[in-house]
Structure 1
């Protein structure tokens, strides 16, 4: 009997097939003497649309809401139905007796496989391949240590709860808002609080009134020092008081009253998880969260030189420690040669701070694999991101950085000034991160009681600054730890994973762009008029991270066997009824600024002026029944497809719909007849 292996993507399936020595290739699977490897294309099965439950639900209407099916149905995704049929045929072959799930090792990967198995009617035994890298060694080892498939039933339940809850809340609220205001609006338990965080930050900036303040700086030749009050304040709100301090110090001599030196040992930063890598990708490389994830996925699947991308851990487990030497050897043929040799010259003994199994969930931190890297095969973006990951990996394995922090206090004219300096003793990990710098302040040779000549003193005027707008990187940080944005601060302990998961946050940000709720100006995120207005009509329950924090906490409890799914889904249906009724009874009006004087050629409503993600202006019709868009910038394939579709609608809308046709000859003949009359 043969074993059927189900991967998540064709590229992964081909690699597994090669390792398992399957050589008979077809369009939908690759077969060998012992294994048949096939693949999904992401999701092949999805939750059925509302119309499957009731034909009347094809039409969007407030009267049919809320939609609360008691038992969720599934359907095959039409565009990939051929692949599903092929998998189903393989599952029912008489010579196939066992199945190995080889989809991504995580919640969504489990859902992809199990839904295919359910609709295809798989009734036999199955196992689970659970690996964190796609190297030949990892695949081979993984097949030697397959896990019982039923061990992941609870993970499936958590994934199904997430999918069903998002369907129930997302579809109902989106339909309710769209029908209520005749505008194509969308809302969700992650998307809406994320938008709210951006909008509230913008309001803080708009409402901010800068206040003047003064700071006092003294020049002592070799160094500068700042005035500080007895309460530790460096800012003065009264200009006259600031000037009086300057007058007191002028022509005075300073005396060093305190001097302390303290050795500081700094541990290296931990390895990357997906969120921190996306943050650094944005900050250091200018990559969007989506760009980082897409490039990382290529390094993992295609090149196999980094470990599993969608991880929320910055740590490794003890079984990874023996592989660290080979992981270093794999990156030796690169610009990191000298650093690698330095680490290999000593025993590699990462401490408990990095090797902590209690802080590793499904997958360990993102680190290089044991696969030798071929730099020339990497694209520019892949090379940049790979270098970032390698630098962090080398940093984690490097020794501590040691420095001496020097603090000096001076008395001058009865006022006190303070200066700090730093003297590096051992570079350690900082030499790899290229942030090893000695202090520019020259504090060498100073001692208490020394007199120091004052070269000059001045009051410097400044203004308080508003909070900074979010970048994609800082927004990811806010989504991963949204405590300060929560309505109920007592929920901090049950926060769980934050807003969404590391794997979904990039898609949420992209959704905000594509819905024209947020736009990018330079590197910062700005809410659009439509995004700001949306929050005036969305129910309060969806505006804050509290709801999704509770959900993610429950999903984790279900996956760990600490909670059951049915009570949660019952509560979701009750909450959805409340949300829909709140929207139905609302007296709010949705009228975003930014409406153009131009009207839509399809429905006659005013077009909305927006910018796409790249800042290009365009006009869109947000009417529920329309969907017209026009762009002033260079068009891409999607734009042309959309224009073609709009063209067909316009022809259908304005044609006389007669069955007669008229050729050019007919037209000339008619014209000549009319001319003769």
Structure 2
């Protein structure tokens, strides 16, 4: 191999926008149709997947025709095929890889399993033999790009990740191709079967059928309204205590027409009520862990109704276009010690938008503990956090701003105090005709808001606090009635519950 007077390194990004960011960080003018050229680097890009596993007929012409006797199709080798719509860009990259002035190649595709596969397939299909390195980007700010170049590693350091990606790709091929052909031939119709698609569809269909076949059944519960001598009112539901721990009893359901309902209601109207038991339990809830992609998708679906794919697209835009978030396709909810060291600067920027919240004075300053920082629990990527770029300078859409707000607040929560609740259960006894009927009331009071002051909430308000009553205290029965209710079908799946 004869190199030119100034050997160049070829950088391959996953998409044009990232290639432009890399070029600008390296001082290269981002102009050119298929690549950007500088003094030391050439920056080019894929457009997602350029190369994929070959179709069956491309491996063996006999497999062109769908026949049950050929199944299962189990290739002994795995040739690659250039996707028809991306052949021009692949050829651009292939020529650059083999250009005499290019001495080595840098993989700068997305830092994850899918991005690794995109580069490896291009590298293999182009039959490139030049040395290769891996640029691992968690953020696209100029500072993060420079840091990634400082920490660049040989491509071989990521061989395990590449093998994992190949194995997943091949298993998708084997399951999809074989089962799709098998079901299509059996049903005499075109069916598609997927390793993830089909089990997920089965779950949705099973739940949908359960909802459609559900027949609601009527039942009755008995509710009483009590009042203290101080005229403080609270409600209780009739229940039968079946254990020594009265607080654990469940509301009693009565079938329509059950004569016991009228008898219990009548006793409640005539009887004497008193507090039989009060149980108060204090609960401390620490700040939630930082976001990985799945948790972010679940919260965005629960709070805003965003579908999982839409949340990923918004997060990807906040990462690539706005440079406000770190790499979003993360499965870790922890930070490395090196990333944690950058938090004071990040928090100093993002906390400006939350001046109306009474944040602890050491927010962003105090070192976080192992609940948030753990090198052993960070593999490919750390948790999703803001990059430290000022969000006020970004032109985010309304939905992008919602996702950024979730991530920023989740990081700020890490320094706040625990949420402290007091959960109260009161058992009221009504004595009449020598019989004892029991009613249970539950309530909750927040003793310390803590991190929850930052939380977005759309769910129903917490149960109201119960009045303070002592055991054996007499109370009056203000009203008692039987309430007709119906059993409910299982809830339909949402993106959040499917992700669970």
| Separation of aligned partners in 1, 2:466 and 2:493 | 37
Match of 1:31 in 2: 37
The aligned counterpart of 1:284 is: 303
Shift of 1:300: 0.8
8 Å CA contact retained: 1:214, 1:460 = yes
Q: Tell me, what secondary structure is at the counterpart of 1:220?
A: strand
* Residue in 2 that maps onto 1:176: 182
- Give me the TM-score of the superposition, normalised by structure 1: 0.67
SS in 1 for 2:283: strand
Aligned to 1:189: 195
Query: What are the equivalent positions in structure 2 for 1:229-240 lying under 5 Å apart?
Result: 229-231=240-242, 232-238=249-255, 239-240=258-259
Consecutive unaligned residues of structure 1, counting only runs of 5 or more, are 478-677
Preserved CA contact (<8 Å) 2:360 2:415: no
Any idea what the Cα deviations from partners look like across 1:87-146, whole Å, max 9, x if unmatched? 122212222222221111111111111111112222122221123222222111111011
Distance apart, 1:302 and its partner CA: 0.8
Once the two structures are TM-superposed, the CA of residue 341 in structure 1 deviates from its matched residue by 6.2
With the length of structure 2 as denominator, give the TM-score of the two structures. Answer: 0.89
Q: How many residues align?
A: 475
Write the mapping of 1:188-227 to structure 2, written as runs, cut at 5 A. 188-221=194-227, 222-227=233-238
What are the Cα deviations for residues 274-308 of structure 1, in whole angstroms up to 9, with x where unaligned? 12222222222122221111111111111111111
Corresponding position of 1:299: 318
Measure the CA separation in 2 of the matches of 1:284 and 1:58. 48
| Equivalent residue number for residue 464 of structure 2 | 440
Q: Distance in 2 between matches of 1:94 and 1:340?
A: 61
Alpha-carbon deviation of 1:11? 0.7
Q: Which of 473, 480, 489 is the equivalent residue of 1:466?
A: 489
- Structure 1 distance, partners of 2:414, 2:264, is 47
CA contact (8 A) 1:375 1:383 kept: no
1:106 aligns with 2:133: no
5+ residue gaps in structure 2?
1-6, 228-232, 243-248
Runs (4+) of structure 1 moved beyond 4 Å? 340-346, 434-439
Contact 1:252 1:412 in 2 (8 A): yes
Match for residue 271 of structure 1 among 274, 277, 290: 290
On the 8 A contact 2:344/2:364 being kept in 1, the answer is no
- How far apart, CA to CA, are the structure 1 residues paired with 2:214 and 2:181? 36
- Superposed, 1:505-524 pairs within 5 Å as none
Within the candidate set 69, 74, 79, 1:68 is matched to: 74
1:159-178 C-alpha deviation (Å, 9 max, x unpaired)? 11111221122112212322
Mapping for residues 334-373 of structure 1, pairs under 5 Å: 334=353, 336-339=354-357, 342=360, 347-373=365-391
In structure 2, relative to structure 1, the CA distance for the partners of 1:438 and 1:203 (3 Å cut) is closer
Shift of 1:442: 4.0
Q: Relative contact order (alpha carbons < 8 A, sep ≥ 6): 1 or 2 greater?
A: 2
What is the aligned counterpart of 2:413 among 395, 410, 431? 395
Q: 1:442 to 1:63 in 2, by over 3 A?
A: closer
User: Which secondary structure does the structure 1 equivalent of 2:202 belong to?
Assistant: helix
Over 3 Å counting, the alpha-carbon distance change for 1:194 and 1:327 in structure 2 is same
What is the aligned partner in structure 2 of residue 243 from structure 1? 262
Distance, in Å, in 2 between the alignment partners of 1:81 and 1:172 is: 27
2:400 to 355, 369, 382: 382
| Contact 2:343–2:364, Cα closer than 8 Å, also in 1 | no
Q: Structure 2 residue aligned with 1:258, among 277, 296, 311? A: 277
Q: Secondary structure at the match of 2:388?
A: coil
Q: 1:98/1:341 Cα in 2 relative to 1: closer, same or farther (>3 Å)?
A: farther
Cα separation, partners in 2 of 1:129 and 1:346, compared to 1, 3 Å: closer
Q: Which moved more, 1:314-323 or 1:186-195?
A: 314-323
> What residue in structure 2 maps to residue 606 of structure 1?
none
Q: Which 10-residue stretch deviates more, 216-225 or 325-334?
A: 325-334
* Residues 214/349 of structure 1: CA separation in 2 closer, same or farther (3 Å cut): farther
